Every structure is written in structure tokens, then in C-alpha cells.
Chain A
Amino acid sequence: MITQTPRTFFEKVWQDHVIKSLDQESDLLQIDRLVLHELSGSQALRALEEAGRQPISRQQVFTVIEHLISTQPGRGPCDSVSTSGPSMIQTTREASKKWGVHFIDYDDPRQGIAHVVAPELGIAFPGATLVCCDSHTSTIGGVGALAWGIGASEAEHVLATQTLAQAKPKTMRVTFNGSLKPGVFAKDMILALIGKIGAQGGIGFATEYAGQAVQDLSVEGRLTLCNMSIEFSCKYGFVPPDEKTFQYLKGAEFSPKAAAWDQAVAYWSTLASDPGAQFDKEVTIDCNMLEPQVTWGISPQQVGAIGINIPAPKTASDHEAQALGERALNYMRLEAQTPLLGVPIDVAYIGSCTNARLSDLRAAAAVLKGRKIKPGIQAICVPGSTAVKHAAEAEGLDQIFIQAGFEWHESACGFCGHIGDNRFANLRVISTTNRNFESRQGPQTRTHLASPATVAASAIKGCIADARELI
């Protein structure tokens, strides 16, 4: 009998897709799914056409209108707060139809943020290679896919060849031990990890999330966890597939059916890391002690438990991180050694590929129910997909949000990035999104990242607040 060396999930999936080794570091990979959107996908489609080429495998390409399209109720086919939005949406629409790729338009009931839609519809599946011109494509690792963000030129290459050259990353395993306390969520797990290993901690790695707390997460929670892999500069993050994954995908529009489903599940069941498989790096987080997390700076590594005092820059790990700390306090207009709790906010935002799935809206609604947001606060909810919006409406969550004082929008990427709406300019926002970079959500906008429950509680109190006092 031949004994195989134990392999990680990553090694199995990568090896499954190697067409050819290009050099000591890189392989030419088969790409199972390409997802495009109107911001960068339009560039890839234009470049492809200018080069006189065509998509080679249209069945494996999906376009979703989500980055620039307006979230306003009653939106039209090209409505956008971005001045170039209408033309980019229309260009993408026309090119997608012309080439016959799968196309999900603004008014399609399947529409939504690509990384919410791809798992929902079974476009993504365990062991798939899935790429998209968006760094948060790592989200889709939550259903056991190997999914990563690429540039527009790489997308053009995938369109033309359905392959991509990539350097093979090293492997990291992050083990989340123990169980989350009530009021603590997947968002808090990933923020705590980034705080621990730093915004550069994942460069050159593919990260497997493991441990009891990850097994216990719903698939939606796993998608949140994987979403922010790129915030520690890790292109790939994933949770190997298990029974929960299969149940989540079963019956989805693009999931295999009948005998093909059984065949697929049998294969997917072999993908989990083998016992004894070795990782290049191991990190452990104890979830029994984990508190809700909130960022206080301009990098996601500038994060802490909600009850902390904002750290003095001099406590950072090195001179450069100290300089970043000083710039952060200056930009965020915060004082070192003062509490994060109670910092007044102007805006509460629930949306994005990170935290706008049904379970996220339920967590926020549990805090908002029967309460009103503090007068003067702007509060906005943009569901992650039209299906999430409809499901939330079916169980009355929209009414809880609206009665609390939230605006209830159509699904899209919305206010996660600043594409033209200056509504958050110079304001302090607590947000369920993934980036607290300078001016990310608007000119001089100061963003604090947190879970949906923390954002909802902060909307009610008008300041950074602990949801556990309200649940």
C-alpha cells in the first residue's frame, strides 16, 4: 500500500488545477469561474475586444452589476452616484450580452454583491478556482473554494484562456479555539486576527481557518471570516467544505443536480486537510475570551476590544507602526488613552460583502427591535443581495430597520467605497464594511469597522456602543 504524504486542503485544490508548471514558483492554473462587475470587468472586456479576442469559455464567466449601480429604491438601469457609472454599467451590460456570458442585471432577483451572490447561486463550489477583479473575492473561500482577487489584465487573460499564471503561496492555518460568547461574531474573530498578526501578516500565504469556533460558524459567518483575509494582505482565505457547506449549496441554481450532485459531494468530501498535514505557519486565537472588536485607526490592524482605551502610538511594535499610529490618531481626531466606547458617531452603516447577509441583518435587527436610533444620526442598511433583501422583508426585518430610523436600500456595493457621493464627507462612520483606510468612504471620512450588532447598538446610542448591553 502506498502511503501518501498528508496534504492540506489548499495543496489538493491547487494541484487539481495545475495545467503546467511555469517556473519554480508559478503554475498555469485552470480557472473554474470568472466573476466580473462593472467597475473593473468593463476594463477587462474592453481590453479583450481591443486585442481582437473573445471569451473562450462563456459558460464559466458571470457578470453582476453591483459596484457602481445606485442603491436608491426605484433605481433605473444606469443610475449611479459615480459620474462615469452610467457608461461603465452600460458598456458592461452590452459586452456581457454580446459575448453570451452569464449576466445578472440590476433588476434581476438574483442581483447583489458578487461575493454574496456567487455562493448564494452556487456559482462558487468547494474546490473551485474562482477569480474576480475585486480583492474581497477571498470571501468565497467560505464555501471551500479557492477564490482570490485579480487585476483587470489578469481577468482579460482568464477571459481569453480560462487559465491564470500564479505564484504558489505558502500555507498558514489559523485555529480559532473555543466558543464565541453571545454578542461576539465572525467579524470580531477576523478583526482580532488582523490585530494580532498585522496588516502585512498574510503576504505570500493562503490561509485555512480551522478550530471549533470556525466549525461552529454558519456558512454566512465563514464568508465574513474569509472576506477580510485580504485585510492582512492574504489573497486566499478558506474554510474547507463540510456538511454545512453542502447543505448551503444544495439546490442552488448553478449547483450540480441529481447524480452529478452526489458525484460532486463525494469528491468535495475528500478535500479537507488530511490529519497531520503540515502548514508553513500556524496561528492560534482563543475565542472563549474574545470581545467585540472595533477599529480606531486607518489600517485594519489598528483594532481592539470595544472596552479598551485607544492605545498610545509608542506602544506599537516598531517605529513605522508608531508613525502609523500617530497619523491614525491625527486623521481620526482621537486622543490616545481615552475610551473607544462612547466616541460620538455621525453615521451607522450596515452593508458590503463583509456583513450584509441575512444573519447579519438579523443580528442588527435583534438590537434595533423596538428602539429608535439617536436623533441626528444617519443610519443606512444596504442588503448584500436582492435575495437577502427579499428574505429580510419576508420576515419583517425591513420594518424593524425602518421603524428604528434606518434607510432601507436596494442591494449593491453602496457606501463601502467612495465613488462620488459625498454624503459621509468629514463624518465619523461606524460601519460593517472591511476597510478603514483614509477617505475610503468619503473625503476625510473617519471609519470604524465593527460587527452589525455593534453598528446597530452604536446607532441607538449615537456613539460607539456595546451591543451586549442591548440584547
Chain B
Amino acid sequence: MLTSFDKALLNIVQTDLPLAQRPFAELAARLDTEEAIVLERLRYLKDNDYIRRIGPFFDSNKLGYTGTLVAVKVEPEKLADVARFINDYPGVTHNYEREGEFNLWFALLTPDLGLQEQILASIRERQGVQKMLNLPATKKYKVSVQFKLE
């Protein structure tokens, strides 16, 4: 269970890890506690899977990468096989089974469009794949995955 201190810490550390020599001491000062306690709780929260990752998150387009969202209609009995095949590409960052006709949705990042086309062609040929929709972004309005914990 998360304590109220954990929630306060997670709310801050989600948005703002200081760029400073002692970032956790700065967080501790804001939370009116000790650096060692912040570090201990963060290790606990990471080890117990509340925190997926700490660090910098980059804007893939601004690093020169090309992204897309792809919807796949897969025969139900082949779904696990196709999902694992898709997962094996390092540029696949998200892959979710979803309700609806298109039952698998994945996000793909590649250094260029050529590689994206090559990967999509291989997936399209995989046994069990019935239909595929390539839905590249025309405009990004928001990416901000922050959860306010109360």
C-alpha cells in the first residue's frame, strides 16, 4: 500500500526531477524530509513495481525518429503468436490487445520511414494477420502521462 508520503513523493517525482548535483536532496527539502528517506522510498517504489522507469523521456520526433500507430486484426487463435512476433522488434514500444474488430494495437518507432515500411510488411505477412491499419500522426497535441495520486 502507498503511504501518503509515497503519494506526495510520486506526484513530485513524476513531473520534476531536478537537474542538480543532489536531485534527491532537493526533492527531500520540498517534502520536508531527508535525502536518505527519499532514496529509500524510491528504491522501494521501483522494486515493488509502482515506478516503471525514472529518467529522461525524449520527444522521438525531435530526435529524428518516425513513429506510427498500427491496428491489426488477428485471428484469435494466432493472437499470442502475432503479439510476440511484433514485440520482438525493438522499435515497438507499446503493444496492447484491445476490444473491437482490430484486436491488437501497437506503436512503432524507427530511425526512418524505410525501416518502418519493412517492418510493417513483415508483420502483414505473418500467419493470422487478416487486416492492418497504419495510422501515422498528422499532429501531436499532447503526450503527458502523469497520474495525480490522492
Q: Do A and B come from one complex?
A: no
Interface residues of B (CB under 8 A from A): none
Interface residues of A (CB under 8 A from B): none
